[in-house]
Each structure stands twice: as structure tokens, then as C-alpha cells.
């Protein structure tokens, strides 16, 4: 076999050999002391609005603490806190239209509460009672998704339905940095891009997937840029900056509603253990944790309000008291809920129960386990 090698004597023009170039915009409005780094969007001057969002962030803090206390005393199953990530879900729940559909992971407590899910419903769920996922006020939102990244292709299905029906609704799928390493995520991006679906993906990059740090998860410089390969718009946002998150999510929803699928990488930090079944001190550096604690979102937005003369210690104390009462009322409703019947576990598995399970149903009913 002969091989002819033609020597290229002219130097290649690098510009002609570039298949693609990209920039990832990155947004932040407030520094960690709540001071403006850039002209703020108009809604930031509506202090009633910002106070309402702050109230939710603080309510979620109270709820989280109480849920962990319930778990520690054997009154709740495993619980996933969202400590340090409150701005993302709060902004999302505020920006979405009521008729949009949320497909949450297990750390979207603020978004779910903003959407109208009741705290006692969330407690029921974390207590192992599936009735908690039959949201009274937002039955069209999806249950909390524990399998990692499966809500991304689900959102593609929901958005496809919206497109086929000609509805002006957006499917919003929220998941973690770890989820963005999974095949489900890439497959979802691919279809969202080619079908031009009304879908928004939010990667909550809290820097950890249980004990695996962000740097060990992906060689990509940003997680946002993964969307480019699928033909989606994308950006990075400081996930601890409520103003930035609220403004960028509204913009992304508008893109998605117009058939331009979008992805936001919200950069934040998981200040808590992965769940109540974890002890992050075994794998995480204390210095890193403290560095990120100084950047957390709740104090940042409180300082913003204080500097504008729109918040003081008296209001803070009153809010904490009323939030604690609200959480306690939800806990009481949860604890007073009668247990589900033993048959409930058969209810939503099959349209027609197979014969092999039928006798188990009969047995459960006859023994009257937990019928209530
Ligand atoms: C399909 C699947 N694989 C593995 C797990 C076990 N698991 C639970 S949480 C988790 C890490 C997820 O990390 P990330 O996506 O960053 O979300 P975060 O917990 O940080 O919010 C894993 C691997 C799972 N729940 N589902
Ligand atoms: Mg993570």
C-alpha cells in the first residue's frame, strides 16, 4: 500500500478552522453585603415584593430546622435540607406562572411553597406518606423526584404536550450539578433543542453530589455550557443573589415560552449535610464551608433591605415568631393526620391489578394493617 502525503506549505488560517465559539454570560447584582454591583432591575425597588420573598426564605429556614428536628426524634423519614439554596426556589416560585408546570428535585422546598404546596403536605411526603404529593393547590406540578435527573426527560414530555396543544405554558425542571452528569440530562437537552420546546432547565450547582465535589464531576469549565451542544440558550447566575435569580428566571421563562428552550446554572453551595442520612464533616473541609457561609443568600437580601431602610430588628423578630407559629401549625396537622390504609400501596401501581398482587391486597385488607 502506498500513502501519498501532500505537504501543506501555507499556514492554516485559524479563524477558518473554528467550528464554534461561545461565551457564557454570568449574572450577579448584589455583593455578599447586599450592596448593588450594577443598576438593579425595577422590581428590586418594590420593597413589599422583596419583603414577601425574604419572608419565604426565612420561613423555609424555620421549616428546614423543624423538619430535621422531627427526623432526629423519629417523627419523619430522611429529609433533604435546602440550607444556603433558598434564593433559587423562592425566585423560581415567584417568577413562574400558575399554569406552568414544576418538576422539582428534593431540595425545592421554597419553590413548592411559593407555588402553593402546603407545609404539612411536604411533611407527609417526607414522613413516607404519598398523599403529601397530591398537592391540593397545584395538582399539575410533579411530585418530588428522588431518582437523579429523571425529571429532565419528564419535562421534555410535558413541554411537548404544551407545544402540541398550542398552550403558552413552560415546563421547569430543577436538578443538581450531579444530575447534569447523567445521560437523562443530555438526552433531555437534545430533544428540547431540536424540538424547540417551552422548557427551562435549572441546574442547582451546589458544588457537591453527596460526597463528590464539582471538580471531580465534570471537565466542563461551566455546567451551563453543556446546553450549547443541544442548541439551547444558557447562562450562569449567582444562585445566592435573589435579585439576579428572580430577574434571570423571568427572562429565561420568556425565552422558553417563545419556543426557545433555556438552561440556567445557578451557582450556590450546599451549607447542610446531603440529607439527614449524611455527615458532610467526614468529607468536607470546614474552611471551605465557612467561606461559603459568608456568601449565603438570606443574610444578603436582609442587608439589602436594611440598607434601604426597609427592614429592622423588630420586623425580623416579629417575622421569626409568626413563621415559627406557621411551621408549628403545619407540624401539628401532619402529626394528627391518620395513617394511610394498607391498601393504599396498591392504588396507583397498575390500572388493573395483576392476579399475583391481588391476593396480597386481600391479605392486607383482611388483616386491616394501618387502615385508618
Ligand atoms: C438514578 C439515581 N442514582 C443515584 C442516586 C443516589 N443519589 C441520591 S442524591 C445523589 C447526588 C445528587 O447530587 P446533585 O445532583 O448534585 O444534587 P444535590 O443532592 O446536590 O442537590 C445521588 C447520586 C439516585 N437518587 N438516583
Ligand atoms: Mg449538588
Q: How do residues 180-194 score in pLDDT, each as one tens digit?
A: 999 999 999 999 999
CA 306 to centroid of ligand 1, rounded, Å = 37
Three cell numbers, residue 68: 430535621
Q: Which residue has the higher pLDDT, 272 or 3?
A: 272
215-231 pLDDT per residue, tens: 999 999 999 999 999 99
Is 265 a pocket residue for ligand 1 (Cβ < 6 Å)? no
**How many CA atoms lie less than 13 Å away from 62 in the CB half-sphere?**
22
Q: What is the pLDDT of residue 370?
A: 45
Q: What confidence tens digit (pLDDT) does each residue in 64-94 have? A: 999 999 999 999 999 999 999 999 999 999 9
What's the rounded mean pLDDT across residues 239-256? 98
- Locate 214 and state its grid cell: 464539582
Verify whether ligand 1 is closer than 6 Å to residue 266 (CB atom): no
- Residue whose CA is closest, atom 25 of ligand 1? 147
Report domain extents, the chain. Answer: 22-31+42-337, 341-372
**Beta bridge pairs of residue 267:** 205, 238
- Answer yes or no: are the C-beta atoms of 237 and 266 closer than 8 Å: yes
Catalytic residue positions, numbered: 270, 274, 283
pLDDT tens for 123-165 read 999 999 999 999 999 999 999 999 999 999 999 999 999 999 9
Ligand 1 proximity of 176 Cβ (cutoff 6 Å): yes
Q: Which ligand is nearest to the CA of 152?
A: 1
Distance 314 CA to ligand 2 centre (A): 36
CA 149 / ligand 1 centre spacing (Å): 8
For residue 372, what pLDDT is reported? 34
Cα–Cα distance measured from residue 110 to residue 123, given in angstroms and rounded to the nearest whole number: 14
265 three-class SS = strand
Instruction: Judge if the beta carbon of residue 206 lies within 6 A of ligand 1.
Output: yes
Q: Ligand 1: which atom is nearest the Cα of residue 105?
A: 21
d(CA 236, CA 311): 30
Cβ neighbourhood burial of 168 (10 Å; 0-12, 13-18, 19+):
exposed
CA dist., res. 203 & res. 248, Å (int) = 13
Cβ of 304 closer than 6 Å to ligand 1, yes or no, is: no
Instruction: Give the CATH fold of the 22-31+42-337 domain.
Output: Rossmann fold (3.40.50)
Tell me what pLDDT residue 7 has: 53
| pLDDT given at position 15 | 66
Indicate the pTM of the whole model: 0.94
Cβ pair 28, 237 in contact under 8 A: yes
Percent of the chain scored above 90 by pLDDT? 88
10 pLDDT tier (thresholds 50, 70, 90): low
Given ligand 1 and candidates 144, 147, 178, 185, which is best to mutate, with the most ligand atoms within 8 Å of its CB?
A: 178
- 224 contacts 230 by C-beta, under 8 angstroms: no
CA distance 90 to 76: 24
Amino acid at each position: 500500500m502506498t500513502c501519498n502525503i501532500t505537504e501543506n506549505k501555507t499556514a492554516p488560517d485559524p479563524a477558518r478552522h473554528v467550528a464554534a465559539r461561545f461565551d457564557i454570560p454570568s449574572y450577579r447584582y448584589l455583593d455578599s453585603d447586599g450592596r448593588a454591583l450594577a443598576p438593579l432591575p425595577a422590581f428590586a425597588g418594590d420593597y413589599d415584593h422583596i419583603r414577601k420573598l425574604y419572608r419565604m426564605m426565612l420561613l423555609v429556614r424555620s421549616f428546614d430546622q423543624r423538619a430535621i428536628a422531627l427526623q432526629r426524634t423519629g417523627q419523619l423519614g430522611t429529609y433533604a435540607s435546602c440550607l444556603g439554596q433558598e434564593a433559587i426556589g423562592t425566585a423560581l416560585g415567584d417568577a413562574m406562572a400558575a399554569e406552568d408546570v414544576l418538576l422539582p428535585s428534593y431540595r425545592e422546598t421554597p419553590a413548592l411553597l411559593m407555588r402553593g404546596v402546603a407545609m404539612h403536605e411536604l411533611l407527609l411526603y417526607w414522613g413516607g406518606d404519598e398523599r403529601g404529593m397530591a398537592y391540593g393547590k397545584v395538582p399539575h406540578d410533579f411530585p418530588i423526584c428522588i431518582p437523579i435527573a429523571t425529571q429532565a426527560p419528564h419535562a421534555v414530555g410535558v413541554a411537548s404536550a404544551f407545544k402540541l396543544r398550542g398552550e403558552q405554558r413552560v415546563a421547569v425542571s430543577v436538578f443538581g450539578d450531579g444530575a447534569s452528569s447523567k445521560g437523562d440530562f443530555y438526552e433531555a437537552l437534545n430533544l428540547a433543542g431540536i424540538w424547540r420546546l417551552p422548557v427551562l432547565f435549572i441546574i442547582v450547582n451546589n458544588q457537591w453530589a453527596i460526597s463528590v465535589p464539582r471538580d471531580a464531576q465534570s471537565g466542563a469549565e461551566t455546567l451551563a455550557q453543556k446546553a450549547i451542544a443541544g442548541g439551547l440558550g444558557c447562562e450562569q447566575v449567582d444562585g445566592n443573589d435573589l435579585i439576579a435569580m428572580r430577574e434571570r428566571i423571568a427572562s429565561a421563562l420568556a425565552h422558553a415560552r417563545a419556543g426557545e428552550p433555556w438552561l440556567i446554572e445557578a451557582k450556590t453551595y450546599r451549607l447542610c449535610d446531603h440529607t439527614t442520612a449524611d455527615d458532610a464533616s467526614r468529607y468536607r473541609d470546614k474552611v471551605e464551608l465557612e467561606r461559603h457561609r459568608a456568601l449565603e443568600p438570606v443574610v444578603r437580601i436582609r442587608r439589602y433591605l436594611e440598607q434601604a431602610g426597609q427592614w429592622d430588628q423588630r420586623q425580623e423578630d416579629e417575622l421569626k415568631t409568626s413563621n415559627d407559629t406557621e411551621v408549628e401549625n403545619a407540624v401539628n396537622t401532619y402529626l394528627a393526620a391518620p395513617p394511610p390504609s394498607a391498601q393504599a400501596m396498591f392504588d396507583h401501581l397498575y390500572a388493573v391489578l395483576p392476579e399475583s398482587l391481588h391476593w396480597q391486597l386481600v391479605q392486607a385488607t383482611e388483616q386491616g394493617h394501618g387502615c385508618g
